Amino acid sequence: MRQAGDDENRRLQSYPADLDPKMQTATIQTHKQRAQLYFEQLQDVICGKLESLDGKARFAEDAWQHPEGGGGRTRVIQNGAVFEKGGVNTSAVSGTLTELLAQRLNVEPQQFFATGISLVIHPDSPMIPTVHANFRYLELENSDAWFGGGADLTPSYLFEDDARYFHSVWKQACDQHDKQYYSKFKKWCDEYFFIKHRKEARGIGGIFFDYLKGDFERLFAFVQTCGNSFLDAYVPIVERRKSEQWGEHEQYWQLLRRGRYAEFNLVYDRGTLFGLETKGRVESILMSLPPLARWDYNIQPKQGSREAQLIDLLRQPKEWV
């Protein structure tokens, strides 16, 4: 993908307005078509901005086909000036729910359609947090349908002003649609991104929601506001922290924290389990894993250190805004 120039950067800064007109196109009539188009447009915008922010690496794209129907676009950036590895993926697939997956969703086995965008960014610097976001729409043969998604931040070293800022962006996005959303979805995020066998959170949270059913237009508008808020939530943090100094000690701690990240994604993450269970493309599903990680035995951070302070915080959710 090409470097974003001045004209492109101006367009990216106003991307919510750019995405709206095509949503009204008469040729895009079904709910699943509209959701798919939005996620694909959002992928273009996010990739363009992240390339511009990195300044060195470009996203490589793989288009793939699902064995039962549909497919997706996997875009991965690696070995950049800022981002060591990251993926911004979209998919729109159809197939048949397995017995196991139908049981997890509390429905009968049947045909399904699922579309969404999923991204994970692992920066090179331990001072820049890993970020994850995912927004999706699922429609069943029996006409049941819902939205899900969210975004969360996983720092190796905590900067509290970054945490407050990240949460404030998501609270503002939620408040535009329902004043109860942020507190509800923040709590859900804290509970969901929790590594039970470690008794600690994966990171400092954000928002998480699933099974949002009902008025499609109202819920789709909310999901678009969230999708359009991702760059606002993350890019300023990267810009603030990319000049922070770090060395071997900080990198070692980062690799240990990445091990925790991998544990959650492989053991608990619903998206990983759904993708593998529905015969999704393995390379695309596992792009969320960091390029390097460590699992050294029984590492205990020094009392009073920044590392110990992070662990203490991850064991008890905090209200940031």
132 a catalytic residue: yes
- Check: CB of residue 212 under 8 Å from CB of residue 224: no
Catalytic residue among 31, 66, 122, 132: 132
Report which of 299, 287, 307 is spatially closest to residue 90, judged by C-alpha positions: 287
Cα end-to-end span (Å), the chain: 37
Q: Which residue has the tokens 């991104």?
A: 193
As given in the structure block, the two tokens for residue 139 are: 């429609």
Active site amino acids: 132
